[in-house]
Amino acid sequence: MTRQTLREAIVAALKSVAPEADASSIDDDERLRDALDLDSMDFLNFVIALHRDLHVDIPEIDYPKMQTLASAVDYLEGKLPSSP
């Protein structure tokens, strides 16, 4: 999976949690919770959406590694098998 595909999957998951927010305009280094006004339940639903869509487990201890769009892409890239 490419970094761009991961980014698109993350934005889609964010849109499913915060449909009123413009998730596609988030800067790579902007904190997701601040940019989209996500509370802890919204963030949990975001992680659940990623788990459902990408079939990847994200333990609670790793949530801080998902604070920005760039860090989420980096984290998920390390969790998913590489494309041939």
Distance (Å, rounded) from C-alpha 45 to C-alpha 38?
Answer: 10
In whole angstroms, give the CA distance from residue 14 to residue 68: 12
Domains belonging to the chain, first-starting first, are 3-79 (1.10.1200.10)
pLDDT in tens, the chain (84 residues): 899 999 999 999 999 999 998 887 899 999 999 999 999 999 999 999 999 999 999 999 999 999 999 999 999 999 987 644
